[in-house]
Amino acid sequence: MVNNGSLRRVRLIRALWIGSTLGLMLVSLDCPPLRAGEDVGLEEVAPRPVTTRKVSSTSVTARPVTAASLDAIFAGATPVSVSDLRAMQQQIQQTTKKIIPCTVGVRVGHAHGSGVIVNKEGYVLTAAHVAGKPGEEAVLILHDGRHLRGETLGIHRTLDAGMVRITEGPGNSQAWPHAPLGTSAKLTPGQWCLATGHPGGYQEGREPVLRVGRVLSMKGQSVITTDCTLIGGDSGGPLFDVNGRVIGIHSRIGNPLNVNLHVPIDSYRTDWPRLASGEAWGHTPDVQPYIGVRGEKDATTAKIARVTPDSPAARCGIQAGDTIVRFNAQDVSDFASLKNFVNDQQPGTRVQLQIRRGEVLMRVELEIGDLRS
Partner 1 sequence: MRRGFVLSGWLLAAVLIDLTMVPRTTGGDEPAANFLRRLGRFHGPSINSRSHESVRSAFREVVSAASDSTFRVLVEGTQVALGTVVRSDGLVLTKASELDGDVVCADRTGKRWPASVVGLSPDHDLALLKLETANLSAVEWAAAENPPQVGAWLATAGSSADPRAIGIVSALPRRIAMPQAVLGIQLQATREGAEVVFVIGDSSASQARMQIGDIVVRVGAVEVNTPDEVSRAIQSHLPGDRVTLAVRRNGNPTTITATLGSRQHLGNQAQSEIMESLGGPLSKRRAGFPSVLQHDTVLRPRDCGGPVVDLDGRVVGINIARVSRVASYAIPSQEITAVLPELLRGKYAVPAATIDQVTGRP
Segment 240-259, which members bind partner 1 (CB under 8 A)? Answer: 253-259
> Is residue 82 part of the contact set for partner 1 (CB under 8 A)?
yes
Among 115, 132, 162, 213, binds partner 1 (CB under 8 A): 213
Residues 132-151 contacting partner 1, CB under 8 A: none
Nearer to partner 1, 257 or 299 (CB): 257
Helix or strand (DSSP H, E) at 252: strand 246-253
Residues 12-51 contacting partner 1, CB under 8 A: 13, 15, 18-32, 34, 40-42, 44-45, 50
> Is residue 80 part of the contact set for partner 1 (CB under 8 A)?
yes
> Is residue 69 part of the contact set for partner 1 (CB under 8 A)?
no
Q: Do residues 240 and 215 make contact, with C-beta atoms less than 8 angstroms apart? A: no
Among 72, 75, 139, 212, binds partner 1 (CB under 8 A): 212
Nearer to partner 1, 201 or 312 (CB): 201
Nearer to partner 1, 200 or 278 (CB): 200
Part in contact with partner 1 (CB under 8 A); list of ranges 82-90, 117-125, 179-187, 298-306 = 82-90
What interhelical angle do 82-99 and 67-74 show, nearest 10?
A: 70
Part in contact with partner 1 (CB under 8 A); list of ranges 9-17, 114-122, 262-270, 355-363 = 9-17
> Is residue 286 part of the contact set for partner 1 (CB under 8 A)?
yes
Q: Do residues 210 and 101 make contact, with C-beta atoms less than 8 angstroms apart? A: no
In the complex, least distance from residue 204 CB atom to partner 1, rounded to whole angstroms: 10
Nearer to partner 1, 154 or 236 (CB): 236
- In what side-by-side order are the strands of the sheet with 330-331? 330-331, 323-327, 350-357, 360-367
Show the CA angle centred on residue 94, arms to residues 88 and 96, nearest 5°: 100
Residue 372 CA to chain centroid, in angstroms?
Answer: 21
Q: Do residues 126 and 113 make contact, with C-beta atoms less than 8 angstroms apart? A: yes
Interaction mask 88-127, partner 1, x per CB under 8 A: xx--xx-xx---x---------------------------
How many angstroms separate the CA atoms of 65 and 273, rounded?
43
In the complex, least distance from residue 137 CB atom to partner 1, rounded to whole angstroms: 19
In the complex, least distance from residue 353 CB atom to partner 1, rounded to whole angstroms: 27
Q: Do residues 108 and 130 make contact, with C-beta atoms less than 8 angstroms apart? A: yes
Residues 151-210 contacting partner 1, CB under 8 A: 189-190, 192, 199-200, 205-207, 209-210
Among 129, 100, 124, 139, CA closest to 20: 139
How many angstroms separate the CA atoms of 343 and 337, rounded?
10
Report the b/e string of 237-259 with b at 16+ CB within 10 A: bbbbbbebbbbbbbbbbbeeeeb
Q: Do residues 361 and 355 make contact, with C-beta atoms less than 8 angstroms apart? A: yes
Among 72, 75, 81, 314, binds partner 1 (CB under 8 A): 81
How many angstroms separate the CA atoms of 90 and 339, rounded?
51
> Is residue 64 part of the contact set for partner 1 (CB under 8 A)?
no
